[in-house]
Amino acid sequence: MAYGSTRSPMLIRKPITTATVMKRTLQIANIVALIFTIVINYLSNTGIFNGNTMATVSARYQNYFTPSGYAFSIWGLIYLMLTAFVIYQARGISGKREVPAVVEKIGWLFVVSCAANSVWVLAWLYDFTGLSVLIMITLLTSLWLIIVRTHMEMDLLPIKKIALTWWPFATYLGWISVALIANVAAWFTKIGWDGFGLSPIVWTVIMICIAGVVYLALTWKRNLRESSIVGVWALVAVAVANWGTAPAIVNAALIVSAIILISSGIHAYQNRGQHFLEEARH
């Protein structure tokens, strides 16, 4: 018997391919990018950048579309959900398990979104308001492409994958959609835009209606009810900020919020349980 010819299966390793290296690179890059983004956002409230904080710059360009301060607490939820996503996508990084398919589908888009988030913070704090609008458009575009690439809310998936890969980005997109409108409003305030003769209140009502149309489209075209609920959160905060000073804006924000909420409820009822069918089959 040729004892030297026998090799234990435990010693045989799968060859490391270029695709494997790329997946692990993406996993590590996603982790680093999120950590960097969270650190930048933490430092943004210390005054270390240009002597400003997010709140002081926001107060400088206060306008009717600026939501009440409590609305920004949603960032805590967003970063918590993104952390859960990053932990999930890191499975298999050691080579002992299969890497989640979502890593390849998203590619570098998550890193791009984190970079855009961080650069936006710096542009905002250094008073490059117009540039910050363009950067936020980049952030919104990267999030939208993530949703399209992953076929988010269009496939049947187990609830665990939905919670860890869909909800973080749906929530993030919902907030950035309204944040972009607020960013544009802040820029208009800075440059003293005359609104083509229309009053700031009228323009704010128009922006609220535009936001409403966006969220209704996200609900019925892409099943993104989570994004729409975030929109309700933001618009109610706009109403709270203008309570007692601009009744037209308060009424518009509350009416549009109610329409979005009712629409989401109807959509949820019509599509109840559909995303979870895969689990029921096993």
272 by DSSP, 3-state: which?
A: coil
Q: Estimate the share of the chain in helix, then strand, then coil, as percent rounded to the nearest 5.
A: 75, 0, 25
For the chain, 282 residues long, give each residue's pLDDT as a single digit of tens. 444 444 445 444 556 778 788 889 999 999 999 999 999 999 999 999 999 999 999 999 999 999 999 999 999 999 999 999 999 999 988 777 888 889 999 999 999 999 999 999 999 999 999 999 999 999 999 999 999 999 887 777 788 888 899 999 999 999 999 999 999 999 999 999 999 999 999 999 999 999 999 999 999 999 999 999 999 999 999 999 999 999 999 999 999 999 999 999 999 999 876 655 444 344
CA 263 from centre of chain: 21
The span from the CA of 117 to the CA of 94, in Å, is 29
CA 140 from centre of chain: 8
Identify the H or E element spanning 116.
Answer: helix 109-125
Tokens representing residue 274 in the block: 């559909």
DSSP string computed for 14-80: ----HHHHHHHHHHHHHHHHHHHHHHHHHHTTTTTTTT--HHHHHHHT--TTPPPGGGGGHHHHHHH
Contact 34, 115 (CB under 8 A): no
User: pTM score, two decimals?
Assistant: 0.90
The span from the CA of 151 to the CA of 143, in Å, is 12
Per residue in 192-207, pLDDT (tens digit) is 999 999 999 999 999 9
Nearest to 48 by CA among 106, 117, 121: 121
The span from the CA of 84 to the CA of 165, in Å, is 9
Nearest to 177 by CA among 124, 223, 244, 226: 226
The span from the CA of 239 to the CA of 242, in Å, is 5
pLDDT value at position 98?
Answer: 86
Nearest to 87 by CA among 145, 165, 15: 165
pLDDT value at position 117?
Answer: 98
pLDDT value at position 1?
Answer: 45
Per residue in 221-241, pLDDT (tens digit) is 999 999 999 999 999 999 999
pLDDT value at position 18?
Answer: 81
